Chains A and B, each alone.
Chain A
Amino acid sequence: MEFTVQHTCSKDGEKEDITSKVPFLSKYDPSKGQLPFLGEGYYFWEYNLEYAKIWGDLHYDRQYYVFESDVEIDHNVDGFYLDLAGNRKHLVGFVDLLREFELIHPEGTKGVDLCYVIKYLREACPEEVFPFKVIRAVDYKNSEKLGIKIDFTGRGKDPSFTILNPRIIISYKNKGDIIYKKPPYITFTS
């Protein structure tokens, strides 16, 4: 499975040095307010240069590079890739997994943010509980204001619709698991 992805990073440092180190780790450190959506890892936007720029404006004070690359994710290795964006089988299985917590407490994972849950599954449980090294997910915040919504038929009180510009993130737990079809290169400089 191949994806074109973007990674935004600070301009701080020599360009060559940054290029050789990209992508950079999104650290998990709640004490500093660092809470990557899907836990600590290496993050990309899936084919979303525009949002990669917005991210740079918001997080790097308009001093940033956007790197682009094509990556290959091996979806045939069971337990390697969890697709919470486009694979309902994975989604249903993951929700089932979360609901296991209701066995020990009636609240289960109620009220616990996903970043904490993934961190917990990865680090406080045996490896077989959450072996996934790559996670793909949709940031549905996009649907509130910026999403390009289009109704299917416009019929009914509350018409069904789809969103034509979902904001999709891909997170790698380990840098070594990123397989480039095309090495990262700077596609935009602020």
Chain B
Amino acid sequence: MEALEKAKIALRAHLLANKDKVAAEFEQMRKISKGKDISNYLDAISTAFSFDYLPTPPEIVYEYSFDEYGSEEIHYENIGFKTCFLPNGGKHVQKKTLEVYQGLFFLIILQDDRRKKSCIYV
């Protein structure tokens, strides 16, 4: 939608040119407003997160020898997020690397929601 992109640019120009005036007018509106807004929603989302809500794949036991561990490529076909969040779609990722990425995945969700616009719509 181009209109919203153009609107954003136009609003930015307007805000920068009228910074103090707009800030003061919004302060007035804040005083007469009663409800919650998107910022409250974001705060609620960030504190409401629980690992209980995450779907978990069935547990699969892989048995590798010492030599295989850390050197062989492992296929994690039962882990759904690999294609979205791992390099090369997770096709050639070693097990240790994958564990690191699993940890990062949760941190990304928790810490990056203010920067990635789609993340606020959980």
Contacts and interface: CB of A to CB of B under 8 A. Distances in A.
A96 B39 CA distance: 12
B121 A105 contact: no
Kindly state the interface size class of chain B when it binds its partner: 35 or more
- Secondary structure at the B interface, as helix, strand, loop or mixed, is helix
A94 B1 CA distance: 11
Contacts of B30: 107, 110-112
Contacts of B8: 93, 96-97, 100
B79 to A, nearest CB: 19
Interface string B94-120: 000000000000000000000001101
Interface in B15-51: 15-16, 19, 22-23, 25-26, 29-30, 32-35, 37-40, 50
Contacts, number: 112
Interface of A: 30, 78-79, 88-101, 103-105, 107-114, 116-117, 120-121, 124-126, 128-132, 156-158
Interface of B: 1-8, 10-12, 14-16, 19, 22-23, 25-26, 29-30, 32-35, 37-40, 50, 52-53, 117-118, 120-121
